[in-house]
Every structure is written in C-alpha cells, then in structure tokens.
Structure 1
Amino acid sequence: MSGYYTPEEAQDVFLKANEAYAREDYAAAQEGYEKLLSRGHGGPDVLYNLGTTQLAKGDLGRAVLALEQAKKQGGRAPDLEANLAVARARQVDKVVGAAADEEFLPRVTAATDGSLVAWTFLASWVGALLLLLAWRLSRPGRRTAVGLLSAVLLLVALPSGVLLAAHAYVEQTVHEAVVLAPTLVARELPQPGARSIFEVHAGLKVRLLEETGRFVRIRLPNGLEGWTEREGVSEI
C-alpha cells in the first residue's frame, strides 16, 4: 500500500480497527490505529481508541500516553476521563501530594480549552475594535450604547488574553511525559552507576525538566526529582 490514505481509505481502516476491537482482537485494532497515526490521520478519536485498546491489552504506559495525547488534542468526552481514571487506579505508583503541589499555571490551563480561549480573545478584541470604529461614526444618541458594548468586549478580551498567554507559556515551557517502562530507576546523577533514589512504574505522568545524553531529569507530582533513562519515558 502507498504511504498515503485517502479520507475514504482512512475511514475504512478506522472502522476495521473498531471491528477488531469489538471482537477483542486487540493486536489488529492497535495495528489499524497506529497505521492511521503514522500516515497523518490521527486526532483525538484515533488516540482515544488506541489508548482504550492498549488499556484492554494491559499496556498501561502506552495506554495512558495515548489517552493523555487525546486529551491534549482536545478530547473531552466523559469516556476519556473514565478510562484515564481506570488507568490511574491500576498504576503501581500512588504519589501523595499530587493535587496540592501541582503548579498554578498548568492547573489553570489544564482546566480550560486553549482553542476556546483563543477564539474568545480574538472575537472579543476584534469586536471591541469594530465597535470603537462604529462609535466614532455613530450619531451622538447611539454612542453611549455602542461605547458600553465595546467596553464589555474589552473587559472580556483582557482576561482571555492573559489566559491565552498562560496557555502559550505552558505549551513552550512545561513538558509532561508518561513512564513507559514497567520499572524505571531514578538516579541522583545522569550516570548509569549513580545512586538510585527512587523508582517509578508504567503509567505515571511526570514532568520533563532537562536532558543530557541518554538521561532526562524528571519531577514527580509531589516534587521529587531524579535522572532516568530517556527511552523509559515518552513526552505527551
């Protein structure tokens, strides 16, 4: 087969993968979803189905990775959150203090839809500018109403602009990953023989801080940090 799918071919592969999942042929289902992703026909639905398939197979690390990627790309279905909850319940690591120690900006951006924030800012800002122009051209008797509406839109544009900037900042500076290895040793230094300080297991979401050679420094949700093998984690 060629390296490109037409929309019709992609839909056919997607439906066949769904059928394979329904008959519990998880290997065939996974192969179908991964083909779509490798040929540019991804998106939240494909990633969600891939994550659900890997969860059924017991591949916890890759299941969480695909589900988190689906969430990052805009997937908001209740089933997505439900499957993530199932995956978290199966994780070996139960990190205490995750909610309390999570940073403010990532929490805010995770709770808001970036595309909705962007469109809200754009619409309110452009609308306010157009109304200001209309205010200058309108008759004196209508200027009060036009001015008030423009002020309201500017008041909406200001916080949405700040929130949009927060999304951009987090996107550029915060890099999250999922542990794929069944057991991954975190060391004090980025060296194979360095002292082990803790272990993490498949499915745990961590923060990537820096990279050197084949090692990356990770931070757990409770703030604990260490160096691990790069191949043991995958960025969301």
Structure 2
Amino acid sequence: MSAITAILVATLLGQAYYSPEEAQLLFQQANESFLKQDYTTAREGYEKLLSRGFGGPDIHYNLGTTYLSQGDLGRAVLAFERARRAGGEGPDLEANLAMARAQQLDKVVGTAPEEPFLQRVVAATHGNLVAWLFLGTWLAGFAFVFLFRVLRPGGRAWAAVVGGLLLTASVPSGALLAAHVWVHETLHEAVVIAPTLRAREFPKEEAKVAFEVHPGLKVRVMEETGRYVRIRLPNGLEGWAEREGVAEI
C-alpha cells in the first residue's frame, strides 16, 4: 500500500468512527443545543451520530423531537417510528408521536383489508421478549441435556425430562421468532416526507394521479420499479409514488 493510499484510508476511517466517549460528548452537545433552541445544530449532531452507526432509540427520539420543533412532520414521525423499532418505548415517545400525527394534513378514512394471520400474531407480540424466551429455553434445555450426560446413571432421569420439556418449549418460541424475522424482512413500512406526494395509477409520470398524501402519513411499500414505489395507505388505497417522497422506517 502506498503512503498516499494509507493516508486516505486512515482519513476515511477516522471520519467514519467515533469512540464511545466522543459519541457521548456529541450527544450531550446536541442535547444542549436543543435546550438552547438551536434546533439546526442539534439536528446536525444527532444525524452525524446516526451516520456513524450510533442508532439507539434515544438518538432517534431526540432527533424526532428536534424535527417536530422545526415543523418537519414527516421526518419527525419517521424518527419516532425508528425509535420504536429500535426498542424505544415510554409515554414521552407515544405523546410526541401522537402530537406529530395530530398535525398531519391527511386523515385517512375507510376500512383497511384484514392483515394476514401471521402479521397479526407478530404485531401482538414483542420481538425482543420472544427472542429472549427462545434463547433462554433453548440454552437451558441443552444445559440439562449436558447435565444428564455427566450425572451418574440412576439419578439423572429428571435432567433428561426437564431438558426435553425446555427444548420442546423452545420450538413454538423459535417459530414465532422466525415469523418476526420474516415479517421484518418482507414488510416494508415507510413515512411520507415529501411536502405533497402524488400517487399515480401506473409507475409513469404521465399516468393519472389517483390521490395525494402529505408529510407524516405512515404507508406500506408493496413493490418498486425504477424511481417509483407502490404504496398502500392504512385504508387499503394503493398508488405509485416517487421513491424519494417516502422514507422506510
């Protein structure tokens, strides 16, 4: 590797990495800027942390609060939804998300088609809890199986029974965990961020506009082609919109 290449690599690595101490300092500085109502500086700090791989729920939540203070409903809802997906929860998050949604221009009415059974089950269960339940029963089951192997004959039957029960119990939680992974990978939810997003009947600029939506509305991305994505509204209405007008959660 030449000296110039080495310098370039080192520079890029230095720009793309923060130590935990540096990240914490930048987070505190962004928080202080927010308290001073310097929302632009605060937003830049939170976005810089996210761009360097620090994507915890607190950063997304603070970024959403900053966007909400700036009146950017689309990106505020997007950040709050990402905070939720990252494991964030609590009354402050729900209250700010509700506040942002209350300011949305679109009040979608109509009955949405019923979700498939698998998606309803996943929506009704907490992914992290399912993951820990599976991991706990699976590891405990193998631990008792190992204990069965090391105990003396005649006094180890109970270990086999307990281990078998635990491994059996891990099967449904493992299946539910797989369902969570499948839904997460195949179900693409997004938030409208464009000031006005026109959904057309076909993925062509000359196609007739079917409807318009505005920042903050949560939609589902069904498929994509070229610079268009087919979105579905909460009431089941679908149309083709420009990809840049929505951001996936």
Please state if 1:23 is matched with 2:36.
yes
Say how many residue pairs are matched: 235
- Paired letter, 1:119: W
CA displacement at 1:148 relative to structure 2: 4.5
Which of 150, 161, 169 lines up with 2:174 in the alignment? 161
Q: State yes or no: 1:204 paired with 2:249.
A: no
Give the Cα separation in 1 of the matches to 2:125 and 2:77: 20
CA distance in structure 1 between the partners assigned to 2:233 and 2:114 by the alignment: 10
Identity of aligned residues (%): 62
Residue 108 of structure 2 aligns to a residue whose secondary structure is: coil
- Rate the CA distance shift 1:192–1:92 in 2: closer, same or farther, 3 A: same
Q: Contact 2:113–2:236 at 8 Å: present in 1 too?
A: no
CA drift of 1:94 comes to 2.1
Summarize deviations over 1:48-101 as a string: whole Å, max 9, x none. Answer: 100111011110000111111111111123321222111222222222357773
Q: State how far apart, in whole Å, the 2-side matches of 1:178 and 1:98 are.
A: 20
TM, length-normalised to structure 2: 0.85
Give me the whole-angstrom Cα distance separating, in 2, the residues matched to 1:217 and 1:132.
Answer: 50
Offset from partner CA, 1:85-143 (integer Å, 9 cap, x none): 11222222222357773444334334433233223212212222332343464554552
Counterparts in 2 of 1:8 and 1:141: CA distance versus 1, 3 Å: closer
- Check 1:52–1:100 CA distance in 2 against 1; reply closer, same or farther (3 A cut): farther
- Once residues 188 and 246 of structure 2 are traced to their aligned partners in structure 1, the CA distance between those partners, rounded to angstroms, is 12
Quote the Cα distance in structure 2 between the aligned partners of 1:214 and 1:182: 18
Amino acid in structure 2 at the alignment position of 1:56 = S
Q: Which residue of 2 aligns with 1:8?
A: 21
Partner of 1:58: 71
Separation in 2, partners of 1:18, 1:125: 42
Aligned partner letter, 1:38: S
Aligned mate of 2:87, from 74, 90, 96:
74
Structure 2 unmatched runs, 5+: 1-10
Structure 2 vs 1, CA of residues 128 and 183 (structure 1 numbering), >3 Å: closer, same or farther?
Answer: same
Q: Which is higher, the Rg of structure 1 or of structure 2?
A: 2
132-141 vs 111-120, which moves further: 132-141
- Gapped runs of 5+ residues in structure 1? none
CA distance in structure 2 between the aligned counterparts of 1:95 and 1:101, rounded to whole angstroms: 16
Return the alpha-carbon distance in structure 1 between the equivalents of residues 152 and 183 of structure 2.
Answer: 42
8 A contact 1:179–1:232 mirrored in 2: yes
Give the structure 2 partner of residue 181 of structure 1.
194
RMSD of the alignment, in Å? 2.2
The question of 1:235 aligning with 2:237 is answered: no
Say if 1:101 and 1:222, in contact at 8 Å, map to a contact too: no
CA contact (8 A) 1:65 1:178 kept: yes
Deviation at 1:154, TM superposition (A): 3.2
Relative to structure 1, is the Cα distance of residues 12 and 141 closer, same or farther in structure 2, using a 3 angstrom cutoff? closer
CA contact (8 A) 1:74 1:113 kept: no
